[in-house]
Chain A
Amino acid sequence: MTVTSKISGWGGYPKHEAQLLMPPSFSALKAEVQKQKTLIPRGMGRSYGDSANASVVLDTTYCDHFLEFDANVGLLTVEAGITLREILKVIVPKGWFLPVTPGTSYVTLGGAIASDVHGKNHHIAGTFGQHVKSMSVLLGTDDVVTASPEENVDLFQATCGGMGLTGVIITATVQLTPIRSSYINQRAIKTDCIESACEAFEANSNATYSVAWIDCLARGKDLGRSVLMLGEHAVSGGLELNTKDSIAIPIYTPSALLNRMTIKAFNGAYWYKAKHNKTQSVPLMSYFYPLDAIGSWNKFYGKAGFMQFQFVLPKADGVANMRLLLTEIAENGGGSFLAVLKQFGEPNNNLLSFPIEGYTLALDFKMTTETIRLLNKLYNIVSDFGGRIYLTKDALMQEALFKRTYPKWREFELIRQKYGAIGKFSSEQSKRLGLA
C-alpha cells in the first residue's frame, strides 16, 4: 500500500500528491533510491515553489547527524539532512559561524548546497557552495562518490545549485567562519530612492553584511526608498545563542488581511521608524533570521499561498533597470510586507548557481491569477534585461526562458548523464524547465 500526502514548497503553491519516503539511516536511504524509478530529495521543504515536489519524494531530515566537528580549525562534517539551526546550536558557543547563511535557519545543509544559497555577505563571501570542502553524493548508479573542488569537480559544480537533480547529498564538510561574539553590530542607513540605495551599497562594499529593506509600494520620487542594514560581527557580548522555539501559527489567516492598504501602512511605518545612521548590537538569531521567530509565517498569505519573486539584474544599467521593474511592481503589485534588495558580488563556476554580479530583489506576492499574469510579465522583463530568476523561489518559469537565462544548462545535463542522474532524479520544476 502506498500512502500519499499533499505537499508543497514554502509558498504553498503549487501542491502535489506525493509518496513521502522517510529513511532513518543511510543504508535505508540507499535502498529507497535503488528501489524507486524516479524521485527527488527534499529537506525542510523551504524552497518556495515546486523544486522539491514530485510523485516520489525522499525526505532526508532523519539523516541529520553530526559526524565530526574540529573546533580548533572550524571544520564541520555532517549528514546533509541536518538543519542550519541545529548546526548553529553546536558551533556558535564554540566560536564559529556559518560562512554563508540564508534568511532562515530552518533549511537543511543539503538544501543549502542544492540551492547554492547566498546571504547578506555575498559581495565578500560568495555562495554557500564556495565553502564546501567536500561532499559525498549518492548517484543514480547506486555509487557513492566524493565531489569537491579537487575531485569530480564537474559533479561538484553541478551539485552546488543543482536543485537535487544530480544525486542525493549524503554528507558534507564545511569550513566555518570564526566569531568572537554571538552579537552583530548593526547600522541602518536610510536612502530616499533606488538610486541612492544602490549608491549606498557601493559606498559600503567593505561591510561584512549588507542588505536593504525596500518599500515596494512607494512611487514617483520615493520609488525604491530603502533602509540599508549593515552588519559586523561584534567582538564582545559572549557566545551564548538563544534558539527559543518559534511561536507557531497553527491556522491560515484570511488572506484578505494582506491588502494594499495594510501593506502600505506597514511599509510606511517601517520606513519612518528606522533611525538613520544608528548603530545597535543585536543577537545573531534576530539579525539573520528575524522571521524564524514566527513559526509558519507563510500561513499569513492564506490557503492559496503566495509566490516569492527573486531576480538578479546585471550591474551594467542595473540601477536604471531596477527602477523600471520597481515601477512595474508598484503600479500592478499586490505588494509585499517584505521586499529585500541586495548587491551581489562576483559569480562562481557552479552551473545553475543563481547570483551574477549586480542587484537582486526578492518580494512576495499573494497567490492569485493576477499574480501569475504579472509574474510572467516580470519574468520576461528580467530576461530582456539580461537577468535571471532564482530557481529556489520559482514555480512558473518556462523552459525557453530558463534555457536562455541559465545558458550552462547543457553542460549540466551532460554531467547528469555522466553520473547516472537522468531520469532518476526529477522534480515538478525540472520537468517544467525541460531537464531530462
Chain B
Amino acid sequence: MKKVLIIGVTSAIAEHCARIWATRGYELYLVGRNEERVQAIAADLKVRGAAQVDSHCIDLNEMDYHAALLNSAESTMNGIDTVLIAHGTLSNQKLCEQSIEEMLAEIRTNALSTISLLTLIANRFEAKQAGTIAILSSVAGDRGRATNYVYGSAKAMITAFTSGLRQRLHKSSVAVVTIKPGFVDTPMTAEFKKGLLWTKPSSVARTITKAIDKRKDEVYAPAYWWGIMLLINSIPTKLFKRLTKK
C-alpha cells in the first residue's frame, strides 16, 4: 500500500488521480486551500476505497509553513512514497500585463511556491534514497505565447527546475516526473471555447498515474501533445511572433 501526498487536491486533475489511487487502496494525505472542497473530496476518496485519508487546509503561498506541512504529512502517514504537486491558478494574462502586483502573485503561486516545496521534498527523499515526485507543469511552459506567457513562464520554470532536479536525484533513486497536460476541460478552464483537442480530467489522470507507476521523466497528457509541441517549437521565431490573434 502506497502513501501519497497530494498538494493542490482540489485541482480537477489531481482529484481524478486521487480517485484512481483510492480505488487501489492507497493511503492519502490531501492538501488544499478550500476547506469545504477538501472535506468533500476526503469523504469521497474513503468511499472509493482509500485505506486512510487525512487532510490539511493551507494557502500554499505561505511558504514558511511548507516544512511544517511536510512534517505533518510524514508523521501522519508514517512516511511518504509519492508526492503529486498540482496546485496553481490559471493567470489572467490581461490583468498581469497591467499590474505588476498581479503578475508577481501569479508567479509566486505557479512557480515559487512549487519550487519551495520541491526543494524541501527533494532533500528529504534524497536522504532516504527513495521516492517519486510528480509535478504538474504545462504545455504552456514549452513556448511563451502572447495569450498566456505569464502562466507559461511560471510553468517553464517548473519544467527547467525539475529537469535539473531529476539529474541531481537520479543517483539517489528518486524519480522526478514532470507532467505537461494539454487542454483539459475543468472548472479552471470553464471560460474557454472547447474544441477537438480538449480532454476530460479523468483521462488525463489515467495518463499521469501510469507515468508515476513507471517513474517516467517527462510526459505529455494526453501523449499526442508531444507531437503538437514538437510542431509548435519548430516554428521559427521570425514566423512565430506574427502568429497572433487579431
Secondary structure type dominating chain A contacts: mixed
* CA of A65 to CA of B41, assembled, Å: 7
Which stretch of A15-23, A137-145, A327-335 is in the interface? A15-23
Q: Are A66 and B193 in contact (CB under 8 A)?
A: no
B49 in complex: contacting residue of A25, A68, A90, CB < 8 Å:
A90
Q: Are B193 and A24 in contact (CB under 8 A)?
A: no
Interface size counted on chain B using CB atoms at 8 A: 21
Q: Are A65 and B43 in contact (CB under 8 A)?
A: yes
Q: Are A90 and B40 in contact (CB under 8 A)?
A: no
* CA of A115 to CA of B83, assembled, Å: 42
Q: Are B34 and A25 in contact (CB under 8 A)?
A: yes
Which residue of the partner chain B has the closest CB to A59?
B190
Q: Are A65 and B187 in contact (CB under 8 A)?
A: no
Q: Are A89 and B23 in contact (CB under 8 A)?
A: yes
In the assembled complex, which residues on chain A have CB atoms less than 8 Å from the CB atom of B191? 1, 3
Counting CB contacts under 8 A, is B48 at the interface? yes
Q: Are B34 and A68 in contact (CB under 8 A)?
A: no
Which residue of the partner chain A has the closest CB to B191?
A3
In the assembled complex, which residues on chain A have CB atoms less than 8 Å from the CB atom of B36? 25-27
In the assembled complex, which residues on chain A have CB atoms less than 8 Å from the CB atom of B194? 5
- Which B residues from 160 to 208 make CB contacts under 8 A with A? 186-187, 190-194, 196
In the assembled complex, which residues on chain B have CB atoms less than 8 Å from the CB atom of A26? 36, 40
Q: Which of B37, B47, B191, B193 has the largest count of A CB atoms less than 10 A from its CB? A: B47
Q: Are A65 and B40 in contact (CB under 8 A)?
A: yes
* CA of A21 to CA of B186, assembled, Å: 11
Q: Are B192 and A69 in contact (CB under 8 A)?
A: no
Interface on B for A, CB 8 Å cutoff?
10, 12, 23, 34, 36-37, 40-41, 43-44, 47-49, 186-187, 190-194, 196
Interface on A for B, CB 8 Å cutoff?
1, 3, 5, 20-28, 62, 65-69, 79, 89-90, 250
Q: Are B44 and A66 in contact (CB under 8 A)?
A: yes
* CA of A391 to CA of B146, assembled, Å: 47
Q: Are A66 and B190 in contact (CB under 8 A)?
A: no
A5 in complex: contacting residue of B40, B41, B193, B196, CB < 8 Å:
B193
Q: Which 6 A-B pairs have the closest CB atoms?
A: A66-B47, A65-B44, A24-B187, A22-B190, A22-B187, A66-B44
CB distance from B14 to the nearest CB of A (A): 12
* CA of A3 to CA of B189, assembled, Å: 11
In the assembled complex, which residues on chain A have CB atoms less than 8 Å from the CB atom of B37? 24-25
In the assembled complex, which residues on chain B have CB atoms less than 8 Å from the CB atom of A27? 36
Q: Are A62 and B47 in contact (CB under 8 A)?
A: no
In the assembled complex, which residues on chain A have CB atoms less than 8 Å from the CB atom of B193? 3, 5
A66 in complex: contacting residue of B10, B48, B186, CB < 8 Å:
B48
* CA of A65 to CA of B44, assembled, Å: 5
Given A5-B193, A5-B194, A24-B12, CB of A62 within 8 Å of CB of B44:
no
Q: Are B190 and A68 in contact (CB under 8 A)?
A: no
Knowing that A5-B194, A79-B40 are A-B contacts, what are 20 other residue pairs whose CB atoms are under 8 Å apart, sorted by A's residue number? Answer: A1-B191, A3-B192, A3-B193, A22-B187, A24-B10, A24-B12, A24-B37, A24-B187, A25-B34, A25-B36, A25-B40, A28-B187, A62-B186, A65-B43, A65-B44, A66-B44, A66-B48, A67-B43, A67-B44, A89-B23
* CA of A250 to CA of B195, assembled, Å: 12
Which residue of the partner chain A has the closest CB to B189?
A22
Q: Are A67 and B10 in contact (CB under 8 A)?
A: no
A62 in complex: contacting residue of B34, B187, B192, CB < 8 Å:
B187
Which residue of the partner chain B has the closest CB to A23?
B187
* CA of A357 to CA of B187, assembled, Å: 43
Q: Which of A21, A23, A62 has the largest count of B CB atoms less than 10 A from its CB? A: A62
